[in-house]
Amino acid sequence: MTATTDGSALAATIGNKQAETGRASAFDLMKSMRHEFEKALPTHVPVEQFMRTGLTELRQNPELQRCSADSLLGAFLVAARLGLEVGGPMGQFYLTPRSIWNKELNEGKGAKEWQVVPIIGYKGLLELAQRSGRVGAVGAELVREGDSFRRGYDSRLGGKFTQWEPVDYLETREIIGVLAWAEVGGGVQDRYLPIEKVLERKARGSAGEKGPWATDYDAMVRKTGFRALSGDLPQSAALALARTVDEEVQRYIPGEALDLGEQSE
pLDDT one-digit tens code per residue, 223-249: 999 999 999 999 888 999 999 999 999
Average pLDDT, the chain: 85
Lowest mean per-residue pLDDT among 11-15, 58-62, 86-90, 176-180: 11-15
Confidence of residue 90 (pLDDT cuts 50, 70, 90): confident
Which parts of 29-174 are beta strand (E)? Answer: 93-102, 111-120, 135-144, 148-154, 159-165
Domain ranges of the chain: 2-120+248-257, 133-234
Tell me the pairing of strands 93-102 and 148-154: unpaired
Measured in whole angstroms, the distance separating CA 21 from the mean position of its chain's CA atoms is 32
Lowest mean per-residue pLDDT among 4-8, 24-28, 99-103, 189-193: 4-8
Confidence of residue 260 (pLDDT cuts 50, 70, 90): very low
Residue 72 has pLDDT above 90, yes or no: yes
**DSSP assignment letter at 262:** -
Confidence of residue 89 (pLDDT cuts 50, 70, 90): confident
Q: pTM for the complete prediction?
A: 0.82
Q: Residue 211 region, left (φ>0) first, then alpha (ψ -120 to 50), else beta? A: left
- Please return the burial class of 21, using the count of CB atoms within 10 Å of its CB with bins 0-12, 13-18 and 19+: exposed
What are the tens digits of pLDDT across the range 108-129?
A: 888 999 999 999 999 999 999 9
What are the tens digits of pLDDT across the range 130-160?
A: 988 899 999 999 999 999 998 887 666 566 7
Residue 7 has pLDDT above 70, yes or no: no
Confidence of residue 255 (pLDDT cuts 50, 70, 90): low
Residue 162 has pLDDT above 60, yes or no: yes
Identity of the amino acid at 238: A
